[in-house]
């Protein structure tokens, strides 16, 4: 038994190192103006004492902003710091995957397969655009809570971890809480266990909730965290579930008119979207059979049921915006369950043909499919670094030290940010906007973080369904006038992206655009950035 613990510890440590090193490749390459910028700048705002929902708008829970603010307090503001945190948490997810797979099979070699697959898959959706995304700590905490609840029997600690998940993604936390509550009543039938578990959840969320009620207000807090994500977000961000996934423009340029290569690559990218559906169908069949034939369930069987319920519920959050990033919470339980079922099936039938088909056909296809995005991105980085290094340039700001981007992206950022830093004081507020605001897709929130200048408006995240409304546009105008904003940075990029949702439709609200056109003039252009200056001082 002691020897098994030593082996397990060594394997977990080895996997963490392998995962971290793989994910570290290219970690300093690229930049996301919108997603990464939102959390980096939000963390910077909390670092200076601002409170989410009161001082800046967001529909995300506060955990990520406060986590980043704490790191900034200790190490200083840095994009690289955010990314190192992210790949550390991602590697811990891989460790959890191995641990669960090992507990379900008691075979380290089998447990390595879903762990390695996770190493290949996770960096794909979580490329530089999502390094700071709160889904990462939320997923880690939720998986760890399942381990603690079933394998450790620590009800209060499991509840605390679910409470912690609420601080990063309250939808994920709800799904985990619901599935774990079912497991507690279904298998343990002990009300005291649930009360301990529930007390752990409340121990985290009650003081946090009270803090924000006092500092923000009940109605505003509920609208930002519950009403907007439930009613507005699905209308402006919904993406239908994909059929065959289209090949990117970059890959299309490489494969040219080769129809066979195009079909193969499309199919590989397509598999992850339907993989969890297939896995959960077979898992449900297995669970129904077990309930018909068994009176008592082992720890491994309880784990299997809990992962199935949790994974199916996680699938719901990928249903609205069906892309790789939102798919990953449901993919991770599916990866574990799939290899458990494959292992059990092969053991039961003990067929050489099935074993060879699995090893030489099924596994390679799954690995190629799940590792496609991360391998492609890392190969792209190596190719540019090795053969086209002259296309890369560093972002020479204090907060972006060691970050490199393509010159065509980095040059205008450097010019625009330096112009603002040279022509404004450190405490002067600016406004980063789009070329139009009756229709919005995303905006450049990274500019605030790189320039170390604060937004004049609470609504720096120009989100469709919010910044496109008359009420919010008038609030933005009031704030621009209140702070006598001298410079507006107009970001003329991604405005032509069309998605099959209401973000692609005009709200016909142009009050903000009229205000900008009337009161500001163009003084510099660094495409896609246009610097606008106030035509007259209103003080």
Instruction: Give the per-residue pLDDT at 322.
Output: 76
Distance CA 228, CA 224 (A): 6
Is the model's pLDDT at 409 over the cut of 90?
yes
Instruction: Give the per-residue pLDDT at 80.
Output: 95
| Residues 6+ away with beta carbon under 8 Å from 162 | 141, 142, 145, 173, 176, 177, 180, 200, 201
Positive or negative, the Cα torsion across 278, 373, 315, 168?
A: positive
Positive or negative, the Cα torsion across 246, 250, 256, 260?
A: negative
Is the model's pLDDT at 250 over the cut of 70?
no
Positive or negative, the Cα torsion across 511, 517, 519, 524?
A: positive
Side-chain half-sphere of 218: how many Cα atoms within 13 Å? 0
Instruction: Give the per-residue pLDDT at 179.
Output: 96
Is the model's pLDDT at 307 over the cut of 80?
yes
Closest CA to 399 of 334, 451, 353: 451
Instruction: Give the per-residue pLDDT at 498.
Output: 85
Mean per-residue pLDDT, 87-98: 96
Tell me the pLDDT tens digit for each residue of 328-353: 899 999 999 998 898 888 888 777 77
pLDDT confidence tier of residue 258, bands split at 50, 70 and 90: low
Instruction: Give the per-residue pLDDT at 371.
Output: 83
What's the mean pLDDT when you consider all of the chain? 90
pLDDT top residue among 354 and 194: 194
- For residues 330 and 272, the answer to whether their CB atoms sit within 8 Å is no
Is the model's pLDDT at 245 over the cut of 60?
no
Instruction: Give the per-residue pLDDT at 153.
Output: 81
Kindly give the pairing relationship between strand 431-434 and strand 487-491. Answer: parallel
Tell me the pLDDT tens digit for each residue of 453-493: 999 999 999 999 999 999 999 999 999 999 999 999 999 98
Instruction: Give the per-residue pLDDT at 539.
Output: 46
User: pTM value?
Assistant: 0.93
Is the model's pLDDT at 279 over the cut of 60?
yes
Instruction: Give the per-residue pLDDT at 300.
Output: 87
What angle, rounded to 10 degrees, do the helices at 35-47 and 79-105 form? 110
- For residues 136 and 338, the answer to whether their CB atoms sit within 8 Å is no
pLDDT top residue among 263 and 164: 164
Closest CA to 96 of 303, 377, 382: 303
489 CA to centre of own chain: 27
DSSP string covering 423-476 = HS-TT--BEEEES-SSS-S----HHHHHHT--BSSS--S--TTTTTSHHHHHHH
Instruction: Give the per-residue pLDDT at 537.
Output: 60
Distance CA 450, CA 40 (A): 10
E strand segments, 199-353 = none
Tell me the pLDDT tens digit for each residue of 97-145: 999 999 888 888 889 999 999 999 988 776 655 688 999 999 999 999 9
pLDDT top residue among 317 and 83: 83
Instruction: Give the per-residue pLDDT at 378.
Output: 85
Q: Which residue has the tokens 């603002």?
A: 420
């Amino acid at each position: 038994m002691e020897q098994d613990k030593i082996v397990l510890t060594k394997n977990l440590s080895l996997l963490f190192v392998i995962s971290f090193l793989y994910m570290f490749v290219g970690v300093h390459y690229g930049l996301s103006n919108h997603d990464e910028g939102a959390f980096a700048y939000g963390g910077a705002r909390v670092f200076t004492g601002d409170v989410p929902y009161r001082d800046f708008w967001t529909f995300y829970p506060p955990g990520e902003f406060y986590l980043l603010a704490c790191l900034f307090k200790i190490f200083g503001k840095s994009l690289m710091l955010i990314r190192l945190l992210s790949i550390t948490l991602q590697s811990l997810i891989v460790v959890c995957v191995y641990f669960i797979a090992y507990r379900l099979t008691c075979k380290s070699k089998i447990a390595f397969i879903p762990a390695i697959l996770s190493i290949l898959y996770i960096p794909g959706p979580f490329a530089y655009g999502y390094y700071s995304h709160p889904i990462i700590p939320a997923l880690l905490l939720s998986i760890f809570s399942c381990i603690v609840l079933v394998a450790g029997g620590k009800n209060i600690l499991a509840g605390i971890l679910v409470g912690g998940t609420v601080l990063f993604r309250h939808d994920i936390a709800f799904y985990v809480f619901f599935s774990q509550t079912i497991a507690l009543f279904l298998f343990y039938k002990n009300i005291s266990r649930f009360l301990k578990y529930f007390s752990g959840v409340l121990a985290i969320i009650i003081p946090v909730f009270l803090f924000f009620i006092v500092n923000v207000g009940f109605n505003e807090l509920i609208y930002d965290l519950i009403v907007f994500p439930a009613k507005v977000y699905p209308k402006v961000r919904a993406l239908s579930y994909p059929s065959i996934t289209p090949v990117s423009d970059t890959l299309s340029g490489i494969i040219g008119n080769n129809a066979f290569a195009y079909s193969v690559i499309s199919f590989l990218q397509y598999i992850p979207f339907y993989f969890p559906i297939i896995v959960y169908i077979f898992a449900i069949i297995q669970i129904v059979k077990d309930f018909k034939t068994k009176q008592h369930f082992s720890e491994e069987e309880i784990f299997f049921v809990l992962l199935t319920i949790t994974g199916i519920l996680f699938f719901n959050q990928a249903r609205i915006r069906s892309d790789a990033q939102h798919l990953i919470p449901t993919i991770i339980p599916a990866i574990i369950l799939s290899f458990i079922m494959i292992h059990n099936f092969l053991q039961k039938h003990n067929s050489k043909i099935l074993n060879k088909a699995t090893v030489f056909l099924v596994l390679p296809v799954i690995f190629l499919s799940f590792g496609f995005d991360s391998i492609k991105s890392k190969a792209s980085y190596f190719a540019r670094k090795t053969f086209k290094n002259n296309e890369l340039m560093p972002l020479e700001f204090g907060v972006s030290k060691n970050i490199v981007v393509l010159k065509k992206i980095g040059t205008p950022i450097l010019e625009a940010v330096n112009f603002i830093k040279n022509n404004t004081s450190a405490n002067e507020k600016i406004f980063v906007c789009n070329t139009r605001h009756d229709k919005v897709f995303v905006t450049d929130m990274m500019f605030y973080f790189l320039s170390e200048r604060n937004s004049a408006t609470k609504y720096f995240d120009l989100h469709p369904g919010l910044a496109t409304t008359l009420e919010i546009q008038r609030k933005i105008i009031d704030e621009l006038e209140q702070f006598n904003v001298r410079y507006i940075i107009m970001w003329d990029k991604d405005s032509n992206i069309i998605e099959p949702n209401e973000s692609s439709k005009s709200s016909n609200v142009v009050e903000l655009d009229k205000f900008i056109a009337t009161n500001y003039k163009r003084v510099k252009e660094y495409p896609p950035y246009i610097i606008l200056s106030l035509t007259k001082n209103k003080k």
